[in-house]
Amino acid sequence: MSKTGILFAALGGCLVGYLLFILNRPVQPEPEQEVIASAKELIAEYQATANVAQTTADNDSGDSGLDSDSEQATAAFNRYVIEGRLDLASDVLLNRLLETDNYAEAAALLSADYVRVGEYRKSLEIIFDAIDQLPFERQQALTELVKAQTVLIETELAKALKHELLIELYQYLAVQQPDVMRHYLRLSYWQIKSGKFDEANTTLIATNNDIASVDEANRLRGLIESAKNGQADQANAIPLVRNRDQYIVKVMLNDTIPARLMLDTGASLTVLKTSFANLYGLDNNFSEQNVQVNTAGGITFAAVTELGSLQLGEGKVSPLNVALLDLDGLEADGLLGMNFLRHFRFSLDQDADSLILEAQNSP
């Protein structure tokens, strides 16, 4: 074998060894620092070896010792890879190198270069194209290479937060290898990360009859359920405006009148400032007899009027009695009291400055 061929075989063996090392590691949802460091080391080693191979290829360009077809094909393949002409290198691999002993190393080298230039799907397509042309007994090395290269690609794309590319990657793999349950599990995981919960659930159906996938599939279904609950909480979260130690929320009165009310769980009735009620004509139906109103500031007496409705977020109460008080020092239009809040399950998220409001009969 020529010096170029020896260098090529050594480099290819290094790549395959590294890929198989990664394959035997547990797959993590996010890239591990050790994997990233090893990948950087491999790239540096590849670049150094490629420079040596370039010099050797130049020296061998007129070498009459490259008599065999396999040596000529290997030299051409090395040259195209070094020059970055990967499509030509692919043609040499598929048409001339699959019958040689170095076909797996050639596929690993070419696949790694496609990853280097960001053509992730092409890096796997070249391996599958080679598998399609090989007899069954020679496919195993490339099948293992697909698994290992997939882990490497996932590590790189996860680090770059390219979730959509990861989804496309595993969708492609699921079509190419429909019996490999890992593809569905990883596809579901990245769909969850992208907020595509229904799609993730549908993807997991493919694993229903695979005993080995039960634990991971159940874990992913748990993630989907938790994420959906969190999404529902977020959808029901009503922003609060902090005012010193109090919170103010925006509400809608009678479907048309916006108001800012201070949240007051110590108030038995919702309260509007008298001046605000006068401004919008909300004091037309007030009661002639004052009623007792408990507030966080103590007990007082006030006239009461009836609103057609009060709406906060998706929560609405119709009709609703409200008390009228002066409250001149209040930096809001009134108080949101328990005669509204008791119709809902509610909780205060002080870290997010939000109020979670749910119907009493929600699950």
Residue-wise pLDDT tens digits, 17-44: 544 444 444 444 444 455 445 444 543 4
In this prediction, residue 186 has a pLDDT band, given cuts at 50, 70 and 90, of: very high
Measure the CA–CA gap between 361 and 357, rounded to whole angstroms: 12
CB-based contact 359:306 (threshold 8 Å)? no
* Residue 242 DSSP SS3: strand
In this prediction, residue 187 has a pLDDT band, given cuts at 50, 70 and 90, of: very high
DSSP one-letter string for 325-362? E--TT-SSSEEE-HHHHTTEEEEEETTTTEEEEEETT-
Measure the CA–CA gap between 358 and 345, rounded to whole angstroms: 5
Q: Which CATH architecture describes the domain 238-359? A: Beta Barrel (2.40)
Q: Which residues are 321's β-sheet partners?
A: 306
CB-based contact 341:267 (threshold 8 Å)? no
Residue 299 has pLDDT above 80, yes or no: no
> What pairing do the DSSP bridges indicate for beta strands 334-336 and 257-263?
parallel
Percentage above 70 pLDDT, the chain? 74
Percent composition of the chain: helix, strand, coil (DSSP 3-state, to 5): 55, 20, 25
Residue 142 has pLDDT above 50, yes or no: yes
Q: What is the CA radius of gyration of the chain?
A: 34
Residue 231 has pLDDT above 60, yes or no: no
What mean pLDDT comes out for the span 105-132? 86
Question: Which is more confident, 288 or 146?
Answer: 146
In this prediction, residue 297 has a pLDDT band, given cuts at 50, 70 and 90, of: low
Residue 178 has pLDDT above 80, yes or no: yes
pTM, two decimals, is: 0.53
State yes or no: cis peptide before 319, omega within 30 of 0.
yes
pLDDT of residue 105: 74
Between the alpha carbon of residue 119 and those of residues 15, 149, 157, 165, the distances in Å are: 18, 13, 12, 11
Which of 45-59, 67-81, 132-146 is least confident?
45-59
pLDDT of residue 358: 80
**CA pseudo-torsion sign 131, 143, 11, 159:** positive
Measure the CA–CA gap between 272 and 319, rounded to whole angstroms: 15
What mean pLDDT comes out for the span 322-329? 84
Measure the CA–CA gap between 181 and 210, rounded to whole angstroms: 8
Q: Where in the chain is the domain with CATH 2.40.70.10?
A: 238-359
Average pLDDT, the chain: 77
Tokens, residue 15: 């790549």
Q: Which residues are 234's β-sheet partners?
A: none
* Residue 316 DSSP code: E
